[in-house]
Structure 1
């Protein structure tokens, strides 16, 4: 399938990607903060928890960015 790459579709792709990235990062930070506080974790367990949630968040960021590019440059949407 042919992709339609125009300045408008690229602007839409970047906008959606930035929005989703900030939401995922905010959710991950809130999850680490709340779980660390709820379980009374010290520094090292908090870093381990942050790493685990961070890896999952990074996967979500990459996946949502790929999906945004596919949606914004799809020829049926333009």
Structure 2
């Protein structure tokens, strides 16, 4: 089962969107009790662009607002 559209696959059970942890640029995530936890290795500008697009697409797919706890989302 894919965690998110656009994922490229799994390595040791961990989903990846770009590259793998052996590459210079990658995004990975884990499922925690509080929700998805992302780890990314890329430029800050690329990360901000990617996570904003992720939240917009997740909001459309799920039918409710998706955001970060520090912004008031639970």
TM (norm. structure 2) is 0.34
If you compute each CA radius of gyration, which structure gives the higher value, 1 or 2? 1
Q: Which structure ranks higher in relative contact order (CA pairs < 8 Å, sequence separation ≥ 6)?
A: 1
TM (norm. structure 1) is 0.33
Structure (1 or 2) with the greater helix fraction: 1
